[in-house]
Structure 1
Amino acid sequence: MLSSQNASELILSQQIELKKSTVPFAQALGCVLGEDIRADRDFPPFDRVTMDGYALASKNYAKGQRAFKVESIQFAGEPLNTLLDKTACVEVMTGCMLPENADTVIRYEDSIRQANEVTFLDNLALQKNIHRRGSDRKKGDILLKAGQQLRAPDLAILATVGKTKVQVYTFPKVAFITSGDELVPVEQKPLAHQIRKSNVFAVSALLKPFIEEISHFHLPDDLPETIRQLTDILQQFDVLILSGGVSAGKKDYIPEALDRIGVDRLFHKIAQRPGKPMWFGKKENQLIFALPGNPVSAFMCAVRYVKPWFMQNAGLEIEKQEAILAENVEFKPDLSYFMQVTLKQENGQFWAYPCEGHGSGDLANLSRAQAFLELPQTTESLFEKGNVFPLWKW
């Protein structure tokens, strides 16, 4: 069995080739850029006035002149105005172009106006209140880099440079496949020996920010039919996430079926609890995650292994957090232990409090907990309060 760390490293080392598509920029929120976005002109594109007031040639103020005639007025959105008389000034509004021959703007608050003449206070700072052309970015500068996920402010950048359509990487097409004759649809009333499907909804919600959509399939406990359906699904999707059928039961057909259709097994079983039977493989440019069927096991594997891969695939930094163990914990098996915990934050640090349920089938307990604390595989059985361990939040 692989350690949890080795399993994670192996999964993250696997990449699939992403395709590109062109979409309207307003629909690109959350997409991963497939091209660099460059400034099509200087930012700002002109010397921009940043305060309502008066624009003038500062040398005259520096020589002692305080009273200036108001020669004209300049509004935002108007073509460039010119200060014709350098002993005069131009009334200007925030966002307008700085008039030619002017090099400073004095605020209304620092002036007294009477009719068509304005007098400025003494000892004012000069050559201020101007956002100089190109001071933010120069024409041709990269504003957004290929591989980054587009956030709300990035759409404004695309609009500013006139990028009406943008190249983005398409999220992988994902199939979530449940298996087991004991599972029935949510809307169906289960018989005494049946349960409703639930894993697909928890895992789909966890991965929603990093995928376009998830299609759901269900496999019966029948090897030939499992092989037939998996063969068909592999032809349609980039990533397959399976739940159930990977342990050692007589009807756990998933590993054999995947082997029969040519999927290369990269590992089967991780030295951990819960989630020990997890299976992972690859076929050409497709990845297959086969999770255990028990709800807590499936969800833990999705949080610890599947979500980080999708984050990396989307060009995002994988969240690495830690927490301080708030109580002594004993765990004897030589396995990594992903313990359900609740969290309290003190002085910028998380304290993790054990919040265990009744085993890997107790999905209701996941609503009480907030994260998994990863206690490392070791021959020691006591994990002492105050030690720091990796934290996997959902």
Structure 2
Amino acid sequence: MSLLPVETALAKIFERIPAPQPEIVALPEANGHVLLEPLLARHNQPPFNASAMDGYAVRAEDFAEGVSTSVRLVGTSQAGSAYSGTLNSGEVVRIFTGAPVPDGANCVMMQEVATVTEGRVSFSELPKAGKSIRPMGYDFADGEALLAPGTRLTPYSLALAAAANAPTLTVARRPTIAVLSTGDELVLPGAALAPSQIVASNAFGLVPLLSPFAQAVADHGIARDDFSDLRGKLEAALEADIVVTSGGASVGDHDIVQDVLKDLGVEIDFWRINMRPGKPLMFGTRGKSLIFGLPGNPVSAMVTATVFLLPALRRWLGEDEPLGPRLVLPLAEPLPPNTARRHFQRATIETAGSGATRVRPISETDSGHTSSLAQAHALIIQPENDPGQPAGALVEVIPL
């Protein structure tokens, strides 16, 4: 079987992802969710002409160039308690930031340029109409679409939603995810290692990596390389929308994940990708469940999850850019030639003394070398058969 190109594998995965399903969530629970319906403003913001600073509300036409003018202080406007009258010629109102500008006023002069003497105010600068006033609807207007469907909600967009007076938002329902590690050699962290055993680490990276995109991520522990044990744990895991296994997805004598999945009615779509690290990636479906069989090597598992699982989850949620953020940065040092498989090269991002941001390849490429992945800030996407690139050349990277 030939190796599947990365783009082809992603396209096959995307074809199997269901359309996003709506649910309504309260604003305090909406962080990280993806909008399925636009956020519409429910009022004008500000809802009135508002002062942009502490100072005095005046009529600019009361002041003429070269003429020293003082005006009579007639009241105060502050947030939550507006001046109730109309400002007439020769009058001024003390005003505070965010307070409504009185009717008749068309300028706010900051208090630093004001002199108050016996109830009258003069200014060291000439007032100009519109100065330091936020007009009604300056931020947004009633009914305006503020955030489009496909937007991942952040603390900043939630502050906007609150300002727009939206107590709830319609978002895409997040999937449930089951994670299962496989292998006779695995033990949990903290265990005493017997000969030929290794510590299971994949789930401890995968669960927090996937959790921001999921309704819940359940860790189903470790399944042994035994048909019955593996079948029982996979059958329970298949209750989830998305099942993620690590290890045993290849075709070695002890790699039985595919056989068990087929026995459980899973249709295997593909299982070998033209990339490194992470060639033995498996993808299949059963009903509405998606199944990802990640390689057992920890770097391969995390890289394939970053390259395939995260885009799949973004597509599930209806995000505008399912591939996620990409950067184009200059190399801090040369990038060696690549093989016929696309390389997702570990790298650090650094800022030089000049202030320029650069990406530096990490020379370690072993798929079991977890410490180098932990040091990485990004993955350089190096095309197939790339001849190598000199320092300073621009490369595409996936931020981690």
TM over 0.5: yes
Tell me if structure 1 keeps the 8 A contact 2:87–2:105: no
Tell me if structure 2 keeps the 8 A contact 1:321–1:392: yes
Counterpart check, 1:291 vs 2:298: no
Matches within 5 A, 1:218-237: 218-234=222-238, 236-237=239-240
Counterpart check, 1:251 vs 2:254: yes
- TM-score w.r.t. the length of structure 1 is 0.87
Q: CA deviation at 1:309?
A: 2.6
Secondary structure of 1:299 counterpart = helix
Which residue of structure 2 lines up, in the alignment, with residue 337 of structure 1? 343
Q: Distance in 1 between matches of 2:160 and 2:399?
A: 32
Q: CA deviation at 1:65?
A: 7.3
**Greater mean deviation of Cα atoms: 160-169 or 277-286:** 160-169
Which residue of structure 2 lines up, in the alignment, with residue 326 of structure 1? 333
Q: Distance in 1 between matches of 2:18 and 2:258?
A: 21
- The 3 A distance-change label for structure 1 pair 254 and 76 is same
Which residue of structure 2 lines up, in the alignment, with residue 150 of structure 1? 153
- The 3 A distance-change label for structure 1 pair 96 and 372 is closer
Matches within 5 A, 1:339-358: 339-346=345-352, 348-356=356-364
Which residue of structure 2 lines up, in the alignment, with residue 300 of structure 1? 303
Question: Which residue among 390, 394, 398 is the counterpart of 1:385?
Answer: 390
- The 3 A distance-change label for structure 1 pair 93 and 338 is closer
- The 3 A distance-change label for structure 1 pair 156 and 13 is same
Q: Distance in 1 between matches of 2:251 and 2:87?
A: 89
Which residue of structure 2 lines up, in the alignment, with residue 213 of structure 1? 216
Counterpart check, 1:366 vs 2:373: yes
Tell me if structure 2 keeps the 8 A contact 1:18–1:170: yes
Tell me if structure 2 keeps the 8 A contact 1:111–1:121: yes
- The 3 A distance-change label for structure 1 pair 172 and 88 is same
For the aligned residue pairs, the C-alpha RMSD in angstroms reads: 2.7
Q: Distance in 1 between matches of 2:298 and 2:138?
A: 55
Which residue of structure 2 lines up, in the alignment, with residue 22 of structure 1? 24
Matches within 5 A, 1:255-266: 255-266=258-269
> Could you report, residue by residue, the CA deviation over 1:240-283 in whole angstroms, capped at 9, with x for unpaired residues?
11101111222211112222223222211012333221111223
Q: Distance in 1 between matches of 2:309 and 2:51?
A: 51
Secondary structure of 2:255 counterpart = coil
Q: CA deviation at 1:370?
A: 4.2
Q: CA deviation at 1:184?
A: 1.7
- The 3 A distance-change label for structure 1 pair 294 and 84 is closer
Q: Distance in 1 between matches of 2:112 and 2:216?
A: 56
Q: Distance in 1 between matches of 2:196 and 2:307?
A: 31
Q: Distance in 2 between matches of 1:84 and 1:388?
A: 61
Gaps of 5+ in 2: none
- The 3 A distance-change label for structure 1 pair 371 and 72 is closer
Tell me if structure 1 keeps the 8 A contact 2:361–2:380: no
> Could you report, residue by residue, the CA deviation over 1:53-94 in whole angstroms, capped at 9, with x for unpaired residues?
322333332495712121222222114521364332222222
Q: Distance in 1 between matches of 2:183 and 2:255?
A: 9
Q: CA deviation at 1:388?
A: 4.6
Q: Distance in 2 between matches of 1:53 and 1:258?
A: 72
What amino acid is the match of 2:190? E
- TM-score w.r.t. the length of structure 2 is 0.86
Secondary structure of 1:153 counterpart = helix
Q: Distance in 1 between matches of 2:235 and 2:351?
A: 48
Q: Distance in 2 between matches of 1:108 and 1:9?
A: 61
Q: Distance in 1 between matches of 2:349 and 2:40?
A: 43
Q: Distance in 1 between matches of 2:123 and 2:41?
A: 38
Secondary structure of 2:44 counterpart = coil
Gaps of 5+ in 1: none
Counterpart check, 1:192 vs 2:181: no
Which residue of structure 1 lines up, in the alignment, with residue 53 of structure 2? 51
What amino acid is the match of 1:282? T
Tell me if structure 1 keeps the 8 A contact 2:45–2:164: no
Which residue of structure 1 lines up, in the alignment, with residue 98 of structure 2? 95
Tell me if structure 1 keeps the 8 A contact 2:282–2:293: yes
Q: Distance in 1 between matches of 2:265 and 2:81?
A: 67
